[in-house]
Each structure stands twice: as C-alpha cells, then as structure tokens.
Amino acid sequence: MPTPVIRQNLAAFQALKTDLFQKDFLLTWEHPEEEIRAILALAETFKNMHKAGLTYRSFLSGLAISIFRDNSTRTRFSFASAASALGLQLSELDEQKSQVAHGETVRETANMISFLAEVIGIRDDMFLGEGNSYMREFGAALTDGAAQGVLHRRPSVINLQCDVDHPTQSLADLAWLKSHFGSLEALKGKKLAMTWAYSPSYGKPLSVPQGIIGLMTRFGMDVKLAYPEGYGLIPDVVERAGRQAKESGGAFEVVNSMEEAFTGADIVYPKSWAPFHVMQRRTELLKQDDREGLKGLEKECLANNAKFTNWECDRAKMDLTREGKALYMHCLPADITDVSCKQGEVSAEVFEQYRIPTYHEASYKPFVISALMFLTRIQEPSAKLDHLLSHAERLSL
C-alpha cells in the first residue's frame, strides 16, 4: 500500500472531530454522524497500514479485557487482534472460573479486573432488556472506582453485542459498503433490504437487524425491514430508524414480504432473528432456569418458524434485485441450505457466489474495534496517529 494512500486516509480522519476520549461506546445512535465517519476513516487507515506492513502499536502496556456471555468467533478474535495490534495484552474473563460464579457483584468484578485495564469489551445478548443495562451498570461501577481513587484510570467499555445493538458489526458493515460503493455519499438512495430469513433455530438475537436499521438510516439509504407477521423488533429501535431516515433524506418502511423487500434492492441482508415477544418470554424463563418452559418455547417457536421456510435468499429472489446483482451481506455464520443445515437462510448457490465478499465484510471488524479502542483511550488521536504513521514509515525504510 503506497504511503500517499495512507496519508490520504489520515487526512480524511484528521478533518473530522471526535469526542470519545475516556468514554464508552455502547450504541451507534448515541454518537453524532461526524464521529461515525471518523471511526470509519480511522479503521480504514489502520486496515491500510496493516496491509502495508506498518505498525500502529500505541500502548507499551495495559490490558484489554473481554467478557463474552455468549458464543463468538469473529467478534472474539477481532477484539483479540485489535488489542494485539495496539500493544495491549488480552485477558478473557471466564465467569464460570471467577468469583462471579460464587455471587461476586458487578460492582466488585468491574473494579477488581480493571486496575491495569484500558478497554473492556462485553458481549451480552442473551437476555432481552438486560445486556445493554449490564454494560451501563458495569460502566457506572468503573466511574465510581475511578472517582474513589481505586482505579488510576477508568477503562472504556465497548459493546461487542448486546440485546439492543451490535455496533462493531454494523460499523464493519458500513465500512464494507463504503468501500464497495466508493464513499458514504454514494450510499444515499441505495436500497437496502434487511429481512428475516428462515433458520432451524429459534433464539437468535435481535441486535444485528436493529444495528443495521439503526445505523444505515442515518446515511440517506432507502431501508426496507421485512419479516413475517409476528417477528417484529424492539419498537423503540424501529421508531428511531424511521425518524433517522427522514432526517437523512432517506426512507424506511416495514413490509411483510421478502420478495417485496428484495425488488429493486442494491443490498440484501437476510438474517434470522427471534421475535421480540419471544425474546421477552425467553428472558423470563432463562432467569427462572425453567428448562421445561424453555423446551416448550423452543418447540412452539420452531413450529412457527417452519411456516416460513420460503423466506430463503435464493436465486429467484436475488433475480428481483437491481439487475439481479444486489450485494449479499451477512454477519456470519449463515445458515446455508444443504451445507450447514437442511434448510436455512440462504441457498448454497447464492452464498458461494458471495462468500468472499462476506469475508471482506467481516475483515473490517478488527480495524473498527482498533479504532474504538484508540479513540476512547488516546487524548489527542490525530497527533498520535500522525506520529505512529511517521514512525512506521521510518521503520519500513
């Protein structure tokens, strides 16, 4: 990667204002558009530096702590990669191997793990109404610890997926769209279909579709949210998406037909999720450790899902898109018909056609997380980045 290209990335970043130092990043819509643009510009800078073999190591010491309360591949390794690239040592908190398993409070855990921590990444998407609240409770404990002099510095909390949003995923998706279409301005008027798709499982979080409609509607896109009757998302997020679309000059519509959403679309994002009301019931049953109740709910929901097996991203539906060439997107792993399951979200033919593009989509996540770590921990990010690039250039000579 020629240095002038990276310098252009740097200049684009330096032209934008951010106010993330010593703050948390929990929901994309809590941050102004200019800050979102800056995050993407910085992520692109880091990505190109890494491609060119230039280091952007920024810390001599410190911990990046991850707390995964659900399974993960891409986000877990993206967080680890981001920490390593910046010079932070990764430490994963396994709650079953900690005193959390013996009743240690959130307040105590937050302080005890944070003496030398810089960043804490949390994934908590299992309990509707709980995940984002847990992150804020954790953050409040850190604020108190710093105020009381227990912590020399308050670490920043980064949402690695909660019940409401999956910001590192949606930001990576937006970075990929920016790259694919050439700029954020080129996204204005582009038609995006965020649709439910059939899956042989029932408990998938709402946060990916909510993250997509909560971010893409801010950039003038024409977003259609499609799902079968009864598969709605959190109402507040849907309402927000509508308001943001109006403010950005875009459009937002909820439809109950996958074909309608795909017709004329430039981008399609078929992804299964559990209905809002089901996740509410599931949360209560999980809290009560009602295993029989959970089995009954799963049986009921799988039977209902089976009514909509035709909600699959196949060739016929892709042919409805703009010139039959819409960009297929997915957070991965996709439920691929006759590959990972008997019947799923996407046909094997369509997925194979777009397999490499989805990998490129995923490749932005470690750099987005690096950008969030950097901006929340570095007081003068523009000056620091200029120094890092100059130093990296000298080392490469």
Q: Return the CA Rg of the chain.
A: 21
| Averaged pLDDT for residues 268-280 | 93
**pLDDT for 2 beyond 60:** no
Phi, psi of 156 (to 5 degrees): -90, 145
**pLDDT for 99 beyond 90:** no
User: What's the pTM?
Assistant: 0.96
DSSP state at residue 288: T
Confirm if 63 and 117 have CB atoms less than 8 A apart. yes
Q: 324-380, pLDDT tens digit by residue?
A: 999 999 999 999 999 999 999 999 999 999 999 999 999 999 999 999 999 999 999
Residue with tokens 């900690």: 98
DSSP state at residue 123: E
Supply 346's token pair. 């996407």
Phi, psi of 338 (to 5 degrees): 65, 10
Count CA atoms closer than 13 A to 238's CA, side-chain side: 15
Q: pLDDT > 70: what percent of the chain? A: 99
**pLDDT for 164 beyond 70:** yes
More confident residue, 2 or 267: 267
- In 3D space, the residue among 125, 127, 134 whose CA is nearest the CA of residue 161 turns out to be 125
Question: pLDDT confidence of 104, banded at 50, 70, 90?
Answer: confident
What burial class does residue 78 get, using C-beta atoms within 10 Å of its C-beta: 0-12 exposed, 13-18 middle, 19+ buried? buried
Instruction: Give whole-number Cα distances, 64 to 69, 210, 236, 316, 369, in Å.
Output: 16, 27, 32, 46, 11
- In 3D space, the residue among 20, 49, 355, 279 whose CA is nearest the CA of residue 158 turns out to be 20
Residue with tokens 């994963």: 92
| Averaged pLDDT for residues 184-203 | 95
34-38, 259-263, 279-283: segment of lowest average pLDDT: 279-283
Instruction: Give whole-number Cα distances, 251 to 178, 244, 280, 311, in Å.
Output: 19, 9, 29, 23
Supply 262's token pair. 């795909």
**pLDDT for 94 beyond 90:** no
DSSP state at residue 307: G
**pLDDT for 1 beyond 70:** no
Q: Write a three-state SS string for 228-259.
A: CCCCCCCHHHHHHHHHHHHHHCCEEEEECCHH
Helix 33-51 / helix 381-396 crossing angle, nearest 10 deg = 10
Q: 28-71, pLDDT tens digit by residue?
A: 999 999 999 999 999 999 999 999 999 999 999 999 999 999 88
CB atoms closer than 10 angstroms to residue 335: 24
Supply 198's token pair. 């059939």
CA distance 397 to 395: 6
CA distance 297 to 223: 31
Residue with tokens 């799923």: 344
- In the chain, what are the domains? 3-165+365-396 (3.40.50.1370), 168-362 (3.40.50.1370)
Confirm if 124 and 162 have CB atoms less than 8 A apart. yes
* Average pLDDT value for the chain: 95
- Which residue type is seen at 382? S
